[in-house]
Structure 1
Amino acid sequence: MDETPTARQKRVWDRSAPSYDRQIQLFERIWFTGAREWLGERASGRVLEVAIGTGRNLPHYRPGVTVTGIELSPEMLAYARRRAADLGMPADLREGDAEHLPFDDDSFDTVVCAFSLCTIPRPAAAVAEMRRVLRPGGDLLLVDHIGSTWPPIRAGQWLLERLTIRAAGEHFTRRQLPLVRQAGFDVVEAERLKAGSIERIHARK
């Protein structure tokens, strides 16, 4: 039987889990600078982090928030649970699919997703689910790498994703802002950084 896109992503991230933190550190210093702090400053109340990975956003949430995390990969989730324990943070971290969130409508004040819609097989479905579980007036916070506004970089991204989409489902020229608008969110704040290749979005239901 052919492997589904979701099953492939689970396999890819399970395999990547032991080396993920080490590999992403350089990107965070050079390319993703300040992104996790930006998310943490804006998240409030009951927070759902979709595709929480190894929990790298956990240290940046402010005191008083209640964090729930969902992650497709059990191996990545194990690292997130250890990080939460080390921080003394009583987060509710569970295995699940961003395209089918296991929560009731209007359950959260804030939904966060960082550097993950680039790999989720059906990002529009995931954004729709994020909206469903947000309470009216709730905040959506997204950070991701997208196609650069500078043509030479965008051309390189396009060439790179000819390999990464097939190998790991990783896209470099996707853009999430149109999906956010199509889902019915009001965009509060949107900015592009690093030659337009990083986008931060704050939207409201």
Structure 2
Amino acid sequence: MDLRDTIRTYRLFSGSYDFVFGPVFHPGRKEAVRLANDRPGQRILEVGVGTGLSLPYFRCDSRVTGIDISAEMLAKARRRAERQQLAHVEGLHVMDAEHLEFADNSFDAVLALYVASVVPSPSRFAAEMRRVCIPGGTIVLVNHFTSDNVLLRFMEKRLARVARHIGFHADFPLDTFAQDSALSIREIRPSNLFGYWRLLRCVNEKPASTLC
């Protein structure tokens, strides 16, 4: 999958994104923020912040940074932060999720909502989240994964070839992602409409060599 396809898709849909994906993804978005932002004064990174639909749900005493590959989506996020006077939003930056421009251990928590299946390399994406999150910090993801339902799984496989050209992995098994990402997943729960999406709550367990 080519990153240029993802950029092009979000450029085309930036104007209608909130209408199409706002309400249907709202439960997972809100629950993910609650799990990641559970203590005062946290430094939090949202990878793939998009139009900033999640930004109002963070605690007022948090310090939130958001990144996204789409400049068009981020422009909407900045307008949202200004319009709603979200003082806890410290910065919104155009950035590649697989090449985060932050020092190691910069954030207490990292979350990525509906991002894992739109990046070219999910393992690289996960590695970067682990790198910038402190040891023992929280990493929360919400994403579509390949369905356990036989009929839905068949449809996902048929759609996979087309989906790649718009920047999306339709056939995206959770067990493969869990193994390749090396994330320490502590909880998996269904999310959003019909439980078709999954919320993953992870603890950032780093090798001892990265703790210095």
TM range (shorter): 0.7 to 0.9
Q: What is the CA RMSD across the aligned residues, in angstroms? A: 2.0
Q: How does 1:1-205 map to 2 (within 5 A)?
A: 5-25=2-22, 28=24, 32=25, 34-44=27-37, 45-90=42-87, 91=89, 92-166=91-165, 168-176=166-174, 178-193=176-191, 197-205=196-204
The one-letter amino acid of 1:75's match is E
Question: Please, what TM-score do these two structures have when normalized by structure 2?
Answer: 0.85
Q: Name the CA distance, whole Å, in 1 between partners of 2:134 and 2:115.
A: 22
Deviations 1:13-48 (A, max 9, x none): 11211111112145x1xxx46101111211231110
Shift of 1:126: 0.5
Cα pair 1:127 1:179 within 8 Å, conserved: no
More moved, 129-138 vs 115-124:
115-124
Shift of 1:188: 1.9
Q: Which runs of 5+ in 1 are unaligned?
A: none
Confirm or deny: 8 A CA contact 2:115 2:143 kept in the other structure. Answer: yes
Bigger relative contact order, structure 1 or 2, given CA contacts below 8 A and separation 6+?
2
Deviates most, 55-64 or 138-147: 55-64
Q: Match of 2:140, SS?
A: strand
In the TM superposition, residue 160 of structure 1 has moved relative to its aligned partner by 2.6
In structure 2, the gaps of 5 or more residues are 205-212
Q: How far did residue 185 of structure 1 move?
A: 3.2
How far off is 1:87 after superposition? Answer: 1.9
Summarize the Cα distance change of 1:164–1:72 in structure 2 as closer, same or farther, 3 Å threshold. same
- Matched AA of 1:50: V
Quickly say closer, same or farther: Cα 1:16–1:134, change in 2 above 3 A: same
State the alpha-carbon separation in 2 of the partners of residues 150 and 83 from structure 1. Answer: 38
> Alignment identity in percent?
33
Distance 1:69 1:184 in 2: 23
* C-alpha distance in 1 between matches for 2:138 and 2:175: 14
CA distance in 1, matches of 2:185, 2:130: 13
Q: Aligned partners of 1:191, 1:35: CA distance in 2, in Å?
A: 10
Q: Does structure 1 conserve the Cα–Cα contact (< 8 Å) formed by 2:107 and 2:134? A: yes
TM-superposition CA deviations, 1:130-154 (whole Å, max 9, x none): 0000011111000001111111111
The total of aligned residue pairs comes to 197
Q: Tell me whether 44-53 or 4-13 shows the greater mean CA deviation.
A: 4-13
* TM-score (norm. length: structure 1): 0.88
